[in-house]
Chain A
Amino acid sequence: MADTAEILSGLAEIVEEVAGIDTAEVTADKSFVDDLDIDSLSMVEIAVQAEDKFGVKIPDDQLAELKTVGDAVSYIEKNQ
């Protein structure tokens, strides 16, 4: 089981791989769409990679609710 810091850094690596955003920019308060400029196609890729990395399921209706990096970290932490 990954802790909060591990989930954040793991998620940041995925975001960097998919969207080319420096891992240091991927902080809990950032909005995927408004701050990191990630489009809906890339969000699908990020979700699939996060599912594999953390052993969680992120259904589409849940994915739509994950507005910020922090939202995603908490969701993964609760559901892993």
Chain B
Amino acid sequence: MTDVVVTGYGASTPLGGDAASTWDALLAGKSGVGLTRGEWTEKQDLPVKISAQLAVDPTDVLPRVQARRMDRVEQVAVVTAREAWAHSGLAVGEGEEPKVDPTRLAVVIGSGVGGAVTLLDQDDLLETAGLRKVSPLTVPMLMLNGPAALVSLEIGAQGGVYAPCSACASGAEALASAYRMLKAGEVDVVVAGGAEACITGITVAGFVQARTLSQRNDSPEEASRPFDTGRDGFVLGEGAGVMVLERREFAEARGATIHGTLAGIGITSDAYHITGPDPEGKGQARAMLNAVRTAGLEPSDVGHVNCHATSTVVGDVGEARAVQKALGDHPVLTAPKGALGHLVGGAGAVEGLISLLSVRDGIIPATLNLKDKDPAVELDVVAGEPRKMELTAAVNNSFGFGGHNASLLFTK
């Protein structure tokens, strides 16, 4: 069966408006977390006043008319996909022959909640101003497949458009779906990733009521601290990550630059609790092992795990134990959410990209704010400075409300 290689990527995150600036800021130990900006923050006095908002607003990048027809999650997906598409070398000018048969080109972009902010805004308009003021674009802006569909329009993909929805695992599941499609030979190229932009009163309030968010309002940059004894919840973020994945033969035939290989995937489900992970981490461990198995490797080959670790009291320790159970004591861990916050449906794609770059460049970013490691975490976690390390394989984990576990395995 064919290999699945990565030939292009893009990101728009709280750390930077593109993949390169995000990666540089992550390695430099910067934080994307700050006091939440937005008109709604003046109306709603919520106990959580911090979040990880985009470094570059997509409305500053997109033409005005294009932007006004899209929800923010669609805007960030399109901006990021455009970067990835250009990076892959597959983009062509107006009227030029496409470099990939459009019917052999697919899109898979996942999101946790889609255009929730549009839904809320338009509902307000219906209540306050009546039907006439409701936008005719309401449905295409709120639908969860909107980001994927708009990306398909952008690149002319006719080989299928998919929008996996598995909460915080959506982005990783999108990449896993692309892997399956390419392995099955259904298409030659898939543009895949995840996007989220749902920082607004009701989502923050909902997460507050579920007791999942950090309330460290007095020092936002220190609020997200995976694996640290002082962690008190995650920081809600927004952003997108997109990769261009291809069958290796196709990429090589067109002379593409190959940044790495998505060599294995593991998707499992806990069937345990709607929000809480299985305390024994069985589903998480199976996901990691399935990724290793599908890659045809052994657990000993995995030198590094880029953890889902969101900075919650229960989740981080459970994941570290699951890594140990699945792969052994040797993997070196990191948790990029210390810097990025939690990008929900965008997280798996952005963090998958970080894992890919760690393998390609032989460097693991440090876990920001990890000062005093929780003694229940027995594994080595990179803290302070990034660590140079030659890697055969790295695993990226993403887990989502609903019991979703998605592991991706990257090699050179």
List the interface of chain A (C-beta within 8 A of B). Answer: 18-20, 40-42, 44-45, 48, 51
Pick from B32-40, B133-141, B376-384 the stretch touching chain A: B133-141
Contact for A48 among B63, B66, B133, CB less than 8 A: B133
- The size bracket of the interface on B is 10 to 19
Q: Do the beta carbons of B137 and A41 come within 8 Å of each other?
A: yes
Main SS at interface, chain B: helix
B132 adjacent to chain A (CB < 8 Å): yes
Q: Do the beta carbons of B136 and A45 come within 8 Å of each other?
A: yes
Q: Give the chain B neighbours of A40 by CB distance below 8 A.
A: 136
Contact for B65 among A20, A41, A44, A51, CB less than 8 A: A20
A-B interface pairs (CB < 8 A), number: 19
B273 adjacent to chain A (CB < 8 Å): no
Q: Do the beta carbons of B65 and A45 come within 8 Å of each other?
A: no
B136-169 near A? 1/0 per residue, CB < 8 Å: 1100100000000000000000000000000000
A40 vs B69: C-alpha distance in the bound complex, in angstroms?
A: 13
**Closest Cβ–Cβ distance, residue B143 to chain A (whole Å):** 14
B52-70 near A? 1/0 per residue, CB < 8 Å: 0000000000011110010
Q: Do the beta carbons of A41 and B63 come within 8 Å of each other?
A: no
3 tightest CB-CB pairs across the interface, nearest first? Answer: A20-B65, A44-B136, A41-B136
B355-370 near A? 1/0 per residue, CB < 8 Å: 0000000000000000
Q: Give the chain B neighbours of A45 by CB distance below 8 A.
A: 135-137
Contact for B63 among A18, A20, A44, CB less than 8 A: A20
Quick one: closest B residue to A51, CB to CB? B132
Q: Give the chain A neighbours of B64 by CB distance below 8 A.
A: 20
**Closest Cβ–Cβ distance, residue B7 to chain A (whole Å):** 32
A51 vs B131: C-alpha distance in the bound complex, in angstroms?
A: 14
Q: Give the chain A neighbours of B140 by CB distance below 8 A.
A: 41
Interchain residue pairs with CB less than 8 A apart (19): A18-B65, A19-B65, A20-B63, A20-B64, A20-B65, A20-B66, A40-B136, A41-B69, A41-B136, A41-B137, A41-B140, A42-B136, A44-B136, A45-B135, A45-B136, A45-B137, A48-B132, A48-B133, A51-B132
